């Protein structure tokens, strides 16, 4: 007769009452021959310590498997890319798809595992092998939290099969251990609706009894890039057409490509060409999601965050051209009427590099956005909710009431530095700009032309002098006001980050009222502004940075939006509104300032400021392509950066 053996190493001990001969009651354990076998106990594991493997033999992935923190907990990706480029970009009739239909398609919108055989976009979950499970045992899997936002697949015979309510795991599968793949179907858009958590439960039934085990995963946060991440590729719009603006803009693109190559960036430019929106910084914010893949290597998916401006057609090209393998797109639909359309441009979103201060830590950096404090206007509520819901980069609002366009990139930037913190703040300094002009005037150069830029046919070069600029009715007062507003914002940044005055790079700048025509000595002095382009070779094609309205021949830009009493934009091309191409390479707009002694005094001063910060500066001409439209090099470009570092690592203090 075959002897009966236990399949569980720790059987439940049950006691019966036995009456002793003396009448006492004794607690006597049952012998193994009569003990009922306990139900099999499953053990589900995920990559809780984020090392790229699921530990089913040891205990490295057990602690914290039912919770999630920034530093520990299993991560899954929102599968937003299009690995096989199956998503249509036109309708059946060849016509354009709606914005909603463009955004609806992604790898997670079907019930298959798309792309390569390694299924790199799936987070792995495994069951610990149960070698002694009875033949009648069956397993089932259920998503008990986050089910609407999660797909779970089981690997069978080398293929991934969607887990449904009807899926049953066999005793053989339970004995050998089962591998699951998990994808999220979206990013967190509002943590009040879904906080990103997914709880997966494995239940095993045998002998009429069921036991279960669960693990918790959270979708990777959608994070924006910061300047400690190296530039890998640069994006720009290539405007088509035979007009003067198209020619100048293509020259800018050609010059940009040379600067990018000189900075050691080997990947070619990503060019937007279909919709002709030159402000490549504004209709998209490059972001990313990542988790640790096999072998401990970070698996990164780029996610292009479309601006909350669905009437801005250029954002459609993100889906139509750029989305593909490991590149997804997130579109925010805001049903509310925007307070200020321009505030929703992504030039109004920048990221402070990682820091810890005042008991708070931002290991992936922190977002800053501009708002109009004077009128209370803020960027899209839906966009701010999405960004805040990621839980890592809580947006900080800075006052941009004093700027006509209203974007934070017009006055502040963040620069890598060989310091304990690892970065510095760069800010525009209008008082330094005024000093340059006053010093030149004091030294007898007041009659020197303010700008050295050459004119175009039908659009003469600006003729005002240093004397005329300084004598203009509002010029000094407006730059003093701009300096005060910048100082107030800088105090907010210092308070929030702990940055000291020694960690601030002050870059000479000047601002001007965007619609002022100034007079000195009785003659009109035209501002180098877009409003003066009426009848010029550029007027029929130039887009206004602030409102994106095509200009009428008379240059009328009436917008009807609420504003502060005085708003300004860059007078001399804004040097802080440039592009960081490398940790020590910075591309600034050509200054075209007064030339004294054969040197442009603004170029010299700007270069000195950046060199002191450890940066090599080069310049590119954007006067007619971007500056006259109230933007600069940064506004017309965008960067894709290296996101392979772990976003949960502790930042420097």
Identify whether 133 is part of a domain: yes
Q: Do 84 and 203 have their domain in common?
A: yes
Q: Do 606 and 482 have their domain in common?
A: yes
What phi and psi values does residue 69 have, to the nearest 5 degrees? Answer: -130, 170
Q: Which of 219, 239, 255 is the last residue of a domain?
A: 219
| pLDDT single digits (tens) 461-498 | 899 999 999 999 899 999 999 999 999 999 999 999 99
Identify whether 648 is part of a domain: no
Identify whether 647 is part of a domain: no
* More confident site: 25 or 581: 581
What phi and psi values does residue 316 have, to the nearest 5 degrees? Answer: -65, -30
| pLDDT single digits (tens) 314-352 | 999 999 999 999 999 999 988 776 668 899 999 999 999
Identify whether 26 is part of a domain: no
The string of DSSP codes covering 54-86 is --SSSSTTTTTTT---SSSSEEE-B--S-TT--
Whichever domain contains 363, its CATH number is 3.75.10.10
Q: Do 587 and 496 have their domain in common?
A: yes
The pTM for the full model equals: 0.90
Whichever domain contains 100, its CATH number is 2.60.40.2410
Q: Do 211 and 251 have their domain in common?
A: no
Report the 10 Å Cβ neighbour count for 17: 8
Q: Do 359 and 476 have their domain in common?
A: yes
Q: Do 480 and 624 have their domain in common?
A: yes
* More confident site: 255 or 6: 255
Q: Do 143 and 229 have their domain in common?
A: no
| pLDDT single digits (tens) 576-591 | 999 999 999 999 999 9
Position 23 pLDDT exceeds 60: no
Identify whether 652 is part of a domain: no
Instruction: For residue 278, give both structure tokens.
Output: 């030159």
Q: Which of 219, 246, 262 is the last residue of a domain?
A: 219
Domain total of the chain:
2
Identify whether 9 is part of a domain: no
Q: Do 211 and 233 have their domain in common?
A: no
As a whole number of angstroms, the distance between CA 240 and CA 316 comes to 17
| pLDDT single digits (tens) 191-226 | 999 999 999 999 999 999 999 999 999 999 999 999
Instruction: For residue 569, give both structure tokens.
Output: 């934009």
As a whole number of angstroms, the distance between CA 511 and CA 314 comes to 29
Range of the domain at 359: 223-641
Query: Nearest-CA neighbor of 210 among 139, 128, 141, 135?
Result: 139
Identify whether 17 is part of a domain: no
User: Which runs of E-coded beta strand occur in 157-206?
Assistant: 159-162, 179-184, 197-206
| pLDDT single digits (tens) 539-573 | 556 666 765 433 322 333 334 344 456 889 999 99
Q: Do 488 and 580 have their domain in common?
A: yes
């Amino acid at each position: 007769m075959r002897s009966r053996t236990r399949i569980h190493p720790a059987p439940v001990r049950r006691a019966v009452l036995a009456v002793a001969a003396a009448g006492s009651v004794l607690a006597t354990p049952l012998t193994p021959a009569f003990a009922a076998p306990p139900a099999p106990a499953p053990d589900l594991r995920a990559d809780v310590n984020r090392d790229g493997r699921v530990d089913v033999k040891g205990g490295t992935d057990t602690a914290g498997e039912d919770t999630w923190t920034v530093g520990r907990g299993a991560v899954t990706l929102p599968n937003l890319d299009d690995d096989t480029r199956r998503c249509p970009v036109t309708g059946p009739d060849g016509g354009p798809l709606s914005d909603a239909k463009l955004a609806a398609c992604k790898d997670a919108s079907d019930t298959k595992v798309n792309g390569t055989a390694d299924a790199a976009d799936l987070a792995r979950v495994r069951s610990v092998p149960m070698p002694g499970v009875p033949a009648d045992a069956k397993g089932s899997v259920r998503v008990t939290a986050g089910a609407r936002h999660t797909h779970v697949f089981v690997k069978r015979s080398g293929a991934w099969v969607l887990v449904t309510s009807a899926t049953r795991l066999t005793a053989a599968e339970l004995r050998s251990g089962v591998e699951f793949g998990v994808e999220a179907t979206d990013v967190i858009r509002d943590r009040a609706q879904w906080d990103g958590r997914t709880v997966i439960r494995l239940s095993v039934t045998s002998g009429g009894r069921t036991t279960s085990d669960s693990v918790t995963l959270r979708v990777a946060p959608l994070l924006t890039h910061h300047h400690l991440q190296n530039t890998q590729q640069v994006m720009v719009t290539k405007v088509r057409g035979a007009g003067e603006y198209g020619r100048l803009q293509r020259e800018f693109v050609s010059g940009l490509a040379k600067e990018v190559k000189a900075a050691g960036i080997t990947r070619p430019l990503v060019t937007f060409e279909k919709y002709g929106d030159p402000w490549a910084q504004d209709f998209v914010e490059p972001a990313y999601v990542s988790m640790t893949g096999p072998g401990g290597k970070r698996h990164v998916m780029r996610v292009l965050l479309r601006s909350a401006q669905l009437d801005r057609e250029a954002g459609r090209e993100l889906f139509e051209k750029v989305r593909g393998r490991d590149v997804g797109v997130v579109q925010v639909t805001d049903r509310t009427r925007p307070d200020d359309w321009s505030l929703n441009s992504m030039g109004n979103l920048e990221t402070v590099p990682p820091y810890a201060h005042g008991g708070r830590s931002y290991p992936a950096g922190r977002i800053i956005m501009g708002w109009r404090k004077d009128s209370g206007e803020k960027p899209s509520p839906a966009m701010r909710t999405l960004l805040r819901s990621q839980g890592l980069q809580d947006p900080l609002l800075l006052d941009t009431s004093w700027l006509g366009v209203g974007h934070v990139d017009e006055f502040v930037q963040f620069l890598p530095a060989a310091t304990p913190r690892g970065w510095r703040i760069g800010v525009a300094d209008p008082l330094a700009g005024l000093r340059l002009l006053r010093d030149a005037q004091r030294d007898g150069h007041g009659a020197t032309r303010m700008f050295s830029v050459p004119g175009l046919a039908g659009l003469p070069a600006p003729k005002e002098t240093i004397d005329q600029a300084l004598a203009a009715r509002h010029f000094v007062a407006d730059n003093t006001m701009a300096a005060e507003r910048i100082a107030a914002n800088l105090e907010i940044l210092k308070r929030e980050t702990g940055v000291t005055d020694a960690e601030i790079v002050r870059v000479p700048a000047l601002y001007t009222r965007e619609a002022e025509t100034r007079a000195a000595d009785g003659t009109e002095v035209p501002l180098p502004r877009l409003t003066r382009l009426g009848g010029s070779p550029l007027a029929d094609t130039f887009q206004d940075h602030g409102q994106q309205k095509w200009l009428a021949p008379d240059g009328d830009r009436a917008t009807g939006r609420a504003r502060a009493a005085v708003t300004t934009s860059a007078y001399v091309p804004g040097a802080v509104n440039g592009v960081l191409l490398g940790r020590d390479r910075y591309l600034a707009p050509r200054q075209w300032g007064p030339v004294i002694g054969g040197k442009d005094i603004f170029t010299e001063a700007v270069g000195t400021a950046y060199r002191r910060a450890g940066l090599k500066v080069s310049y590119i001409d954007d006067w007619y392509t971007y500056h006259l439209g109230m933007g600069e090099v940064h506004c017309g470009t965008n960067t894709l950066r290296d996101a392979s570092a772990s976003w949960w690592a502790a930042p420097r203090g």
